[in-house]
Structure 1
Amino acid sequence: MCFRPTAAAKVIICPGCQKKLTQQQGHIAKTCPFCGTDITQVEGTTTEQPK
């Protein structure tokens, strides 16, 4: 069994609706599920959760 801690999660802020989008099963959506904006060109940020 492989365990990957959630300490480093990639978060993308949608430029259309400003909602935070995260990876779902290791994949980032191509369009925002809330407003439909194309997010393929948006740069993601890595957030570190405190231990």
Structure 2
Amino acid sequence: MLDTDAQPKPQVAPTAEVTYEVTGTGTAEISYLARSEDGTATVEKGVTLP
């Protein structure tokens, strides 16, 4: 409402639980495709794993 001090509640972003099993040492390249994307994958390069 425009004439109140009430703030709008933030929208909750959808999430999905993901589990990766990685063996070896060094860095990894992880790519994923979200259901709402237009067909291009998001790629994370040089990810340091614990």
- TM-score bin (small chain): under 0.3
Q: Which has the higher contact order (CA 8 A, sep 6+)?
A: 1
